[in-house]
Structure formats: C-alpha cells, structure tokens
C-alpha cells in the first residue's frame, strides 16, 4: 500500500527531519574534513559543520515547539551562536533566511517551504563579501530553484519534493568538481556543499522511512579512507578569525566594507541585533578591534590554518596529536617542528579581551601591562575551544593528548576534560595535568610530542609523559610582587614584608602540581646570578637535562640566566630562551624570570617504527 502523502510539515515532523539530517552530517564529519580544499585546504569543514549543527540540535531536542516557524527561528539563532568556519557561517545565514520567510507560519506546505529555501539561499549569498560559484552557494541555489519549479508545477507531497530536490542537489554537487580549479585539481567536490547535500539526504530518508537514527557517532581515523585532498598551498591569510557581535543596530554593510580590506573569505551572517563575523586574516587583533566598534564582542577565536593544513600531512606520519593551552611557553621553532597545537588563554584588560599569543603577543602584553590603569586578568579557554580543536585533530589523527597547566592554579584542565567528554571520538582523547606552568609545561608538551613522533601508541605515550612529570620542575623569580598583589594572588602584607627585609621570593612547582613559594633570594644585588645558582643546585651531576628559560620582557636577564646555567652545567644538553606569556605574566609582571629543568632521556621508539619526518 503506498505511503500516505505529506502535504504539510508541522513543528514535530520538521524537527525530527532536521535531526535526522544533522545526524547524517555528524556521521560524515571525517569524510568532509578530508575533502576540504576550498577556500583553503585546512581540513576542518566537517568539524565546523558538526559544531554548528550540534548547536542546532540543542534546540531541536528540547520539548517540542508547536510552531514550525518559531522552531526554525530558534534553530537559526542557535546556528548563529554556534557557527564555526566559513561553512558554518553560511549554514547559519541560510537558516536565518529560512526563518525570516516562514517564521510566522505554524505549519508549512510545499510552496511555503520552497519559498523559505529560496530566502535562505539569497540570504546566504548576501552574507559573503565575495561569493564564489561552484561552492555550497551554488548547490543551495540550485536546490531552491528546483523546489520552486516543483511547487509551481503542483507537487505538494514533501516526500516527492525532497526526493526530487535531492536528485538535483546531487547533480549540482558533482558539478562543483569541475567548476572551481582547486576542486578540479584535487578531484573532489566542494566539502561545504557536500555537507549541505548530506543534510538533505538525512531529511529525505526520514520523510521516506519515518526512522530517526540518533545512535552515537563513532569515528575511526584509521578507517582506511584516502588521505586528505589538496595537500598544501601558500596561504595569503593565516588565521581563520571569528567573533560574535550583539547590539541594537549593527551596521553590517559598513562592517563588511571595513573587514573586507583585512582578508578574504569574509562572511557577515546574522541580523541587526546579532552578527557572526568570519574572515581569513593575518591580524586577528585588528579584526576584533574593528568589530568591537559595532557592538559587544564575544566568542573570539582564531584558528591557525597553516598549522591545520600541515596537520593533514603530519597525521599520516604521527598517530598522536599534542595540544597545549597557551599557558605553556614553547619556542616557536619547536611548536612547528613538533606539530604542537595551541588553544589560547583569554586575557582581559578591563572591557577589552584578547587571545593570548594570537591577538595579543608577549611584547604587546607587557606594553599594555606597563601602561594600563587596570590590572589584567586571565581566564581559561572555554571548553568549546578545546572541543573544536579535539574534534578537528581526532578527524586526522588516531589519538589526541592535551597537556595542560597545573590544575592547582587554573581550571584549564577541567575545561579540557569537559570538552574531551563531549567529543564523538572521546575514547581517543586524553587530558594530562602537566603539574607545571610556563616553560615547565612547555618542556612536558615537547617531550609528549617527541614520544608521538617516536611512534608510541596512546598507552605508551601516556605512561612516558606521566613518568617525566616528577622529573620536570619549574622555578620562577619575581622582580616585583606588585602585579601579584594587584591581581589578588599575593597579600599586600607579603609585599611589604619582602621590601622591608630585602627579600625576593622564588616560585617553584612541587610533585603534586602545587605552584608555591620555593625559596627566597637575599638582598637586591646580582639577583639573576643568585637565581641561577638556586636553579643550578637542582642539577644532578651525571644526569641529562633540558632547560627552558622564559622572561617577562627582560631578554637580557633571561639570556644571562640561560648562559650562567649552561656554562656551569655541561649536562644541560639543550636550552632555549622564550618570552613568558600572559598566563603567568599577569602575576609576575615585567622582569619575571622562569627556568624549567627536565631530567631527560630520549623517548623509547617501539620496535619497527621509523623516525617521523622533521624529528
């Protein structure tokens, strides 16, 4: 017996159909990441669509909204809040246009649905500063045109409507393979368009069968699927920069004009009250500064597309990706060589917020610290930042390990653990408390990356890292307690007592992860040399060490500390000097010196595993 026609969609059926479509996209996340070559081959389209659509699911899984138009409006707003990447912003704007057309309708018929999709297609195209044919925009428009043609021809059954529209979408998707040269060279279809077609497939299948499969998504990065398409390309703009603006009357046209001069792939999605900004740029700080002139800024993020692009290649050589928060101070050349990924801490100077080491580098941080009337504060990265990083890396690597600042001074590790528990591939993500901060955390992360490069599996790597933790110590010299007092970490009486007694307290990490007073220096003369002797007493003859010194806008003192230690202890085999980031700098202030020692032995390479390239 033929299935009954579906002449209308109410909120319940519409919501279930969208859930089915979104779940189909989640299942295809890794495939979409692998075919992502446009606008840049950074391998994150599937991840961005999944994060965007997961935000939509939170609305769709609430107790049923009895009004289809209201449901679509709420979905559009959730998509705007959760949108990530170029494709996520376009999808959010598509649903914004859909909601604007039919937000007043409690149920939808075929003609109204077709009109809504046309509204979504137009709205999505208008959001881009430089719309390109042969992308998701083309496929969405082709679907909208087909739906309009079918509705005008009298097709009023949603099953037939979606099945025919899907056929058109699949033909349009396949055509993208030859419409853009970059897709033609890689012999792939547009990844964002493929995500939209996958969404339609799930919706159509639900309407045909009535079955809603929301079983847990399981990723297997070792599934044997072909390597990522596209390889590498020279990036004109390095940072995928995003933020959310809220206000009473955001001038999207003027905002688009100003940001268009800073980069490419610009998408301005949303309404006059809420705007999602997406742009590829080389100066995220300038993007955020300009955007902040048009409303209240939140949700800043900047993903390093160069590192993402490299990851799609490294994944074939390294089974495990290493992640740190930006409290870790690591030499730039080691970050690149060891393929370590960084999630930035937030730095706040009054109402102005920055991404540590992305939109606010160490030099600029210490300049602001010296001139600002307010004491800066730091906050841990939101769990969503970790989740986005974990989702992306889990789609390219077998396992992911996050090395975080000691949990005794920050909630960053808990944020990472919360994110790891919500990742679809959560069984392949590990979070490790480094028990250290600054350069000590950096040494632990570098060692973990060397274990990964040596070919250790996740159990071996975790055991190796945990074994190195008690052999890694961090020591800090505070030239002044002023910033510790202003930030509330140090009581005012301690500064007074230190000044009266001419004492300089020293910080140290302890085996349980505490960061506390580990000693004092007497007097006010030759403090760098005294600190060097303090650290040097921890160097045991006959043992091999690595040393990482970081400084708070005091490169000469940092170099003197490093030279003193390396010239007197020949068993310090490697040593680096780096600026100290804001995470510790807000408390230590200018003149801060940090020295981390690690009793070191090279990671054990499993039998039969060749060295990774670049190590």
Structural domains for the chain: 8-209 (1.25.40.340), 239-467 (3.40.50.10170), 472-599 (3.30.1180.10)
Kindly tell me if the per-residue pLDDT of 280 is higher than 50: yes
pLDDT grade for 323, boundaries at 50, 70 and 90: very high
Look-up of token digits 């039998």:
607
Distance CA 256, CA 268 (A): 7
Query: Omega into 39 within 30° of 0, i.e. cis?
Result: yes
Contact predicate 550/366, CB 8 Å: no
- Look over the chain and give the mean of its residue pLDDT values, rounded to a whole number: 90
| Residue 242 DSSP SS3 | strand
Place of tokens 């639900």: 206
Mean pLDDT to the nearest integer, 402-407: 96
pLDDT for res 43: 82
Provide, rounded to the nearest whole percent, the portion of the chain with pLDDT above 90: 74
Tell me: pLDDT of 444 over 90. yes
Whether pLDDT at 38 is above 70? yes
Q: What average pLDDT score do residues 422-447 get? A: 94
Nearest C-alpha neighbor of 140 from the set 196, 190, 222: 196
Whether 500 has a pLDDT exceeding 70, the answer reads no
Q: Which residues pair with 242 in a beta bridge?
A: 278, 301
Band the pLDDT of 59: cuts 50, 70, 90: very high
User: 171-194 pLDDT, tens per residue?
Assistant: 999 999 999 999 999 999 999 999
Give Cβ neighbours of residue 243 (< 8 Å, ≥ 6 apart): 276, 277, 287, 288, 291, 297, 298, 299, 300, 301
Quick one: pLDDT at residue 426? 86
Alpha helix stretches (DSSP H) within 61-106: 68-82, 85-102
- Burial (CB count within 10 angstroms: exposed 0-12, middle 13-18, buried 19+), residue 581: buried
pLDDT at 221 over 80: no
């Amino acid at each position: 017996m033929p299935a009954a026609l579906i002449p209308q969609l109410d909120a319940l059926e519409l919501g279930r159909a969208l859930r089915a479509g979104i779940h189909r996209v989640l299942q295809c996340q890794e495939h979409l990441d692998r075919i992502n070559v446009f606008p840049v081959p950074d391998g994150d389209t599937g991840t961005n669509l999944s994060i965007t659509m997961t935000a939509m699911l939170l609305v769709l899984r609430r107790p049923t909204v009895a009004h289809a138009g209201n449901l679509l409006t709420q979905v559009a707003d959730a998509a705007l809040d959760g949108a990530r990447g170029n494709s996520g912003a376009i999808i959010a704007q598509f649903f914004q246009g859909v909601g604007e057309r039919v937000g007043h309708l409690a149920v939808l018929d075929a003609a109204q649905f077709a009109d809504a999709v046309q509204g979504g297609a137009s709205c999505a195209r208008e959001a881009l500063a430089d719309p390109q044919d042969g992308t998701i925009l083309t496929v969405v428009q082709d679907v909208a045109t087909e739906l309009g043609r079918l509705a005008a021809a009298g097709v009023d059954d949603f099953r037939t409507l979606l099945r025919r529209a899907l056929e058109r979408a699949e033909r349009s998707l396949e055509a993208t393979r030859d419409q853009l040269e970059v897709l033609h060279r890689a012999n792939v279809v547009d990844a964002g368009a493929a995500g939209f077609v996958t969404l339609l497939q799930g919706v159509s299948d639900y309407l045909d069968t009535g079955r809603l499969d929301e079983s847990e998504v399981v990723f297997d990065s070792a599934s044997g699927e072909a390597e990522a398409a596209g390889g590498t390309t020279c990036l004109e703009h390095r940072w995928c920069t995003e933020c959310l603006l809220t206000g009473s009357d955001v001038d999207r046209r003027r905002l688009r004009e100003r940001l268009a001069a800073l980069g490419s792939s610009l998408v301005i999605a949303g309404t006059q009250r809420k705007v999602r900004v997406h742009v590829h740029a080389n100066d995220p700080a300038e993007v955020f500064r300009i955007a902040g002139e048009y409303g209240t800024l939140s949700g800043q993020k900047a993903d390093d597309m160069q590192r993402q692009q490299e990851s799609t290649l490294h994944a074939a050589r390294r089974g495990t990706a290493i992640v740190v928060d930006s409290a870790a101070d690591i030499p730039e050349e080691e970050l690149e060589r060891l393929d370590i990924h960084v999630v930035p801490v937030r730095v706040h100077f009054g109402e102005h917020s920055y991404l540590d080491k992305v939109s606010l580098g160490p030099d600029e941080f210490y300049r602001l610290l010296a001139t600002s009337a307010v004491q800066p504060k730091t906050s841990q990265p939101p769990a969503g930042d970790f989740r986005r990083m974990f989702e992306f890396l889990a789609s390219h690597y077998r396992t992911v390990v996050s090395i975080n600042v000691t949990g005794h001074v920050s909630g960053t590790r808990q944020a990472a653990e919360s994110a790891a528990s919500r990742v679809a591939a959560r069984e392949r993500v590990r979070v490790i408390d480094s028990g250290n901060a600054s350069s000590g955390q950096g040494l632990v992360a570098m060692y973990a990356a060397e274990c990964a490069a040596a070919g250790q599996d996740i159990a071996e790597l975790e055991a190796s890292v945990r074994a190195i933790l008690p052999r890694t110590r961090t020591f800090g010299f505070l030239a002044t307690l002023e910033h510790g007092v202003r930030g509330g970490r140090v009581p005012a009486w301690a500064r007074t007592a230190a000044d009266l007694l001419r004492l300089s307290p020293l910080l140290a990490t302890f085996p349980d992860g505490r960061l506390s007073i580990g000693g004092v220096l007497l007097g006010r003369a030759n403090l760098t040399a005294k600190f060097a002797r303090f650290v040097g007493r921890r160097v045991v003859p006959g043992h091999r060490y690595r040393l990482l010194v970081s400084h708070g806008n005091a490169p000469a003192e940092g170099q003197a500390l490093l030279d003193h230690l390396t010239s007197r202890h020949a068993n310090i085999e490697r040593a680096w000097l780096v600026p100290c980031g804001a995470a510790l700098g807000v408390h230590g202030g200018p003149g801060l010196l940090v020295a981390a020692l690690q009793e070191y032995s090279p990671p054990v390479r499993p039998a039969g595993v060749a060295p990774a390239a670049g190590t």
